[in-house]
């Protein structure tokens, strides 16, 4: 249909909003609470436009265009109102931009600049001063920076169906809060961090471990190992100013070396290990009448979700630890033994696209290596250590690179160290939704049928639909599998199990949209288009790997030969498998 | 002095109330209203909010959001008598701030209830003092509501009379 925008006649798609029509016509209407695919609650009033014949200004993000509509995005009235609405938001916003985590990457800051706001016109109206909520191991909330746009509430509710946070109070006392205003660490929050990813300001951020990591790096008595998750190599480049989805594995390794890590290892190696264990676990369950469907257990947000909301179904979870935790346990046992390093001196740092990994690393049961050494070395409880000491997000690693003055774009490409650095393509695709399933199928197929699959690419489980399913032909036996990303979709599959209608043998669940590459610790912005670019890079890396199947990774084979003996064996049981907690 | 016990409603009473409202539009609101009404201290204790959420299968945060949105709901125990002073524009110009200070003095609260907290309850649980933005009774301003009855054209003398009367009331069994 035809509409007029700022006196220009333009074509607009039927059913589109004024905001979208303007965008198509090349006019960007500033907006704040509106976020494509996430939130459209029309609360901020920043995107207002003037429409001929309308009594008041209209919010362009929710108003649909009509034939012949005359829209003015730049009329004095619209511009004045837009500016004032931002100024009103600033009245109750803390003004410590210079020392804010999101300085330089804040939508409110950007908007204030774009709209030319150069004075503080309105006094603070809110009487309460809210304390920071630092109760969570993964996330920090600072309500003083919150502008009540509702994006975090929308992702927590609509995307994840967790509803850990919502609006409470009214008027000046309105706040985003948890039940009874308890700390985020004390309620049923999965730590997924999607709220931090969509927050336009610094009101929700990850709990930083940068200081702890720096301290460890400066300690000459420590051997600091780093492991990097698959999704970090397709995200970190963005945070260093490169195009979305840039694949920078080699530069990332070089950068980590320059930060001072003793060895730069790959979580993908541990992903391969996970697949060997998990593939064998699946076959054991199929052959011995174990609990099916079996569901993957790599995503710590998902683990906490099922523990809180479907505790009766914990038996469906694979007992395999996540790659992050398998890595930590192997590094402080196998690697320590192999290199003759005192495990108490080893500090394992992980770089993850994830905020929930911080929580996972601190789960009390994640101390397999300490338990392993306790008797052998006669360790006291005071000497207790976790398998993974610190977990950084992709964003925190970017901050460390910047602080250290590393010119990321000029770094050479370097290789991971051995023996925990080799990985197959299967380990790489762990970073994408469908990746763990595909990696598992590449191995399980061969384990089950005794011969390699015709092709290693299982295209049926790739894609971006919320739930995907496929029939896998294992030498005549048809196995039904499903892949879900976001916790809302995971819940749908769990409801099927609850109702006894689940047709599946094996299910992969990832907490975040798109899988880890869209994780809560990834660079901001992250949206559907950016996620697709990151996914393309991940599958590209897989394609170019000489080894595509986890059980063919030579370092994995050595690990079993020299240390673990066999999949699901005694050592695996203690170091690589775990149990879950009914949280209700 | 009468002592009121701080007990959340029993499971059965709660179940009964919830079943009565279940399936009706706005059931959470009407349920919370009745639950608060049945509570001897006229409030919604944390335990009750948790129970309501679980039994009605409504997320905790939503229940809390509703309970904190409406000024009708109390999250703290309420006094035996409730005094609500209107602080709307009309009442303000007719001196309601002074009335609020008077009420505070009469019941023995140090400062008026005009701060950031929306209500104050005396330590003996006899009085809760609250303010409201407007009763819609501006023609008769200033107005003060005591135990559900709106008194119009209130001045200090009239207020003292009302307060003395309810202070002398025998505690209801």
Q: Known catalytic residues of A?
A: 278, 281, 298, 318, 357, 360, 365, 516
Q: Compute the nearest-CA separation of B70 from chain A (Å).
A: 8
pLDDT at A472: 93
Instruction: Tell me the residues of chain B between 108 and 127 that have a Cβ less than 8 Å away from chain A.
Output: 115-116
pLDDT the model gives residue B7: 64
Residue A43: how many other CB atoms lie within 10 Å: 17
What secondary structure, in 3-state letters, does A213-247 show? HHHHHHCCCCEEEEEECHHHHHCHHHHCCCCCCCC
Choose among A127, A163, A170: nearest Cβ to B61.
A163
Domains in chain A, start-ordered, CATH in brackets? 2-91 (3.10.20.740), 97-201 (3.30.70.20), 211-575 (3.40.50.1780)
Nearest CA in chain B to A128: B116
pLDDT band at B173 (very low <50, low <70, confident <90, very high): very low
Q: What is the DSSP letter of A320?
A: B
Unique residue bearing structure tokens 């008041």: A56
- The dihedrals phi and psi of A259, each to the nearest 5 degrees, come to -75, -15
The length of chain B in residues reads 173
Strands of B28-126, DSSP E: 81-86, 119-121
Closest chain B residue to A180, measured at CA: B64
Quote the pLDDT of residue B24.
86
Is residue B116 predicted with pLDDT exceeding 70? no
For residue B9, what is the DSSP state? P
Chain A residue with minimum CA distance to B45: A180
Residue whose entry in the numeric block shows the structure tokens 């601190």: A362
Q: Does B11 contact chain A (CB < 8 Å)?
A: no
* B5 in reach of chain A (CB within 8 A): no
Give residue B2's pLDDT: 45
Task: Give B125's pLDDT tier (boundaries 50, 70, 90).
Answer: confident
Q: Is B71's pLDDT higher than 90? A: no
Structure tokens at A87: 């100024």
Total-model pTM? 0.93
pLDDT of amino acid A109: 97
Q: pLDDT value at position A50?
A: 97
Residues of chain B in contact with residue A141, where contact means CB-CB under 8 angstroms, are none
Report yes or no: B68 at the A interface, CB cutoff 8 Å: yes
Residues 80-99 of B with CB under 8 A from A: none
* Structural domains of chain B in order of their starting residue, each with its CATH number: 11-69 (no CATH), 81-168 (3.40.30.10)
**In this predicted structure, what is the pLDDT of residue A40?**
84
pLDDT of residue B110: 67
Half-sphere exposure of residue B146, counting CA atoms within 13 Å on the CB side? Answer: 20
Residue-by-residue pLDDT tens, chain A, 584 positions: 999 999 999 999 999 999 999 999 999 999 999 988 888 889 999 999 999 999 999 999 999 999 999 999 999 999 999 999 999 999 999 989 999 999 999 999 999 999 999 999 999 999 889 999 999 999 999 999 999 999 999 999 999 999 999 999 999 999 999 999 999 999 999 999 999 999 999 999 999 999 999 999 999 999 999 999 999 999 999 999 999 999 999 999 999 999 999 999 999 999 999 999 999 999 999 999 999 999 999 999 999 999 999 999 999 999 999 999 999 999 999 999 999 999 999 999 999 999 999 999 999 999 999 999 999 999 999 999 999 999 999 999 999 999 999 999 999 999 999 999 999 999 999 999 999 999 999 999 999 999 998 889 999 999 999 999 999 998 888 999 999 999 999 999 999 999 999 999 999 999 999 999 999 999 999 999 999 999 999 999 999 999 999 999 999 999 999 999 999 999 999 999 999 999 98
* Res B133: pLDDT: 85
d(CA A463, CA A481): 14
Which of A128, A173, A178 shows the shortest C-beta gap to B61? A178
């Amino acid at each position: 249909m035809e509409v007029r925008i700022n006196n220009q006649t333009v074509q607009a798609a039927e059913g589109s909003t004024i905001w979208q029509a303007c965008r198509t016509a090349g006019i960007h209407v500033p907006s704040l609470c509106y976020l494509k695919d996430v939130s459209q609650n029309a609360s901020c009033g920043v995107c207002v436009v003037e429409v001929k014949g309308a009594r008041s200004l209209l919010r362009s993000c929710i108003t649909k265009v009509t034939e012949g509509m005359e829209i003015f995005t730049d009329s004095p009235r619209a511009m004045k109102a837009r500016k004032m609405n931002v100024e009103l938001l600033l009245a109750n916003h803390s003004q410590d931009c210079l020392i804010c985590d999101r300085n330089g990457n804040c939508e409110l800051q950007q908007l204030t600049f774009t709209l030319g706001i150069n004075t503080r016109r309105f006094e603070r109206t809110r009487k309460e001063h809210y304390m920071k909520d630092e109760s969570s191991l993964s996330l920090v909330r600072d309500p003083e920076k919150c502008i009540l746009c509702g994006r975090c509430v929308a992702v927590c509710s609509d995307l994840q169906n967790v509803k850990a946070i919502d609006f409470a109070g009214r008027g000046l006392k309105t706040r985003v809060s948890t039940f009874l205003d308890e700390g985020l660490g004390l309620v049923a929050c999965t730590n997924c961090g999607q709220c931090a990813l969509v927050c336009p300001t610094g009101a929700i951020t990850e709990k930083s471990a940068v200081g702890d990591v720096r301290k460890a790096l400066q300690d000459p008595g420590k051997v600091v190992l780093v492991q990097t998750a698959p999704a970090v190599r397709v995200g970190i480049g963005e945070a260093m100013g490169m195009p979305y989805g840039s694949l920078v594995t080699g530069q990332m390794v070089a950068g980590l070396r320059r930060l001072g890590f003793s060895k730069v290892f790959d979580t993908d190696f541990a992903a391969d290990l996970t697949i060997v264990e998990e593939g064998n676990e699946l076959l054991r369950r199929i052959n011995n009448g174990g609990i099916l469907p079996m569901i993957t257990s790599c995503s710590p947000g998902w683990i906490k979700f099922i523990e809180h909301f479907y505790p009766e179904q914990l038996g469906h979870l694979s007992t395999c630890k996540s790659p992050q935790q398998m890595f930590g346990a192997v590094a402080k046992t196998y690697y320590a033994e192999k290199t003759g390093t005192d495990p108490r001196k080893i500090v394992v740092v992980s770089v993850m696209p994830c905020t929930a990994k911080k929580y996972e690393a601190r789960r009390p049961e994640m101390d397999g290596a300490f338990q392993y050494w306790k008797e052998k070395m006669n360790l006291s409880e005071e000497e207790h250590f976790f398998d993974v000491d610190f977990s950084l997000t992709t964003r925190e690693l970017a901050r460390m690179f910047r602080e250290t003055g590393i010119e990321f774009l000029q770094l050479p490409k370097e290789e991971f160290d051995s023996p925990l650095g080799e990985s197959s393509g299967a380990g790489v695709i762990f970073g994408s939704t469908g990746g763990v399933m595909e990696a598992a199928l590449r191995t399980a197929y061969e384990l089950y049928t005794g011969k390699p699959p015709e092709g290693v690419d299982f295209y049926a489980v790739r894609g971006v639909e919320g739930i995907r399913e496929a029939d896998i032909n294992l030498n005549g036996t048809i196995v039904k599998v499903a892949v879900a990303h976001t916790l809302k979709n995971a819940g749908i599959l769990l409801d099927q199990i609850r109702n006894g209608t689940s047709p599946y043998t094996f299910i992969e669940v990832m907490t975040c949209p798109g899988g880890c590459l869209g994780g809560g610790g990834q660079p901001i912005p992250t949206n559907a288009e950016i996620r697709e670019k990151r996914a393309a890079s991940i599958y590209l890396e897989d394609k170019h790997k000489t080894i595509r199947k986890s059980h063919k990774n030579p370092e994995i084979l050595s690990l079993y030969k020299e240390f673990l003996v066999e999949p699901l064996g005694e050592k695996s049981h203690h170091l690589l498998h775990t149990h879950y907690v009914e949280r209700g | 002095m009468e002592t009121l016990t701080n007990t959340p409603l029993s499971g059965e009473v709660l179940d009964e109330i919830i079943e009565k409202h279940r399936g009706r539009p706005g059931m959470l609101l009407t349920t919370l209203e009745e639950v608060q009404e049945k509570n001897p201290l006229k409030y919604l204790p944390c335990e009750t909010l948790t129970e309501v959420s679980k039994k009605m299968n409504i997320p905790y945060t939503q229940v809390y959001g509703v309970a904190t949105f409406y000024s009708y709901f109390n999250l703290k125990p309420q006094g035996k008598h409730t005094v609500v002073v209107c602080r709307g524009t009309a009442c303000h110009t007719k001196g309601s701030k002074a009335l609020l200070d008077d009420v505070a003095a009469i019941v023995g609260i140090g400062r008026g209830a005009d701060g950031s907290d929306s209500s104050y309850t005396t330590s003996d649980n006899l009085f809760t003092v609250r303010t409201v933005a407007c009763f819609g009774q501006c023609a008769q301003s200033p107005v003060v509501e005591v135990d559900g009855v709106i008194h119009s054209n209130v001045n200090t003398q009239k207020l003292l009379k009302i307060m003395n009367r309810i202070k002398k009331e025998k505690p209801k069994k």
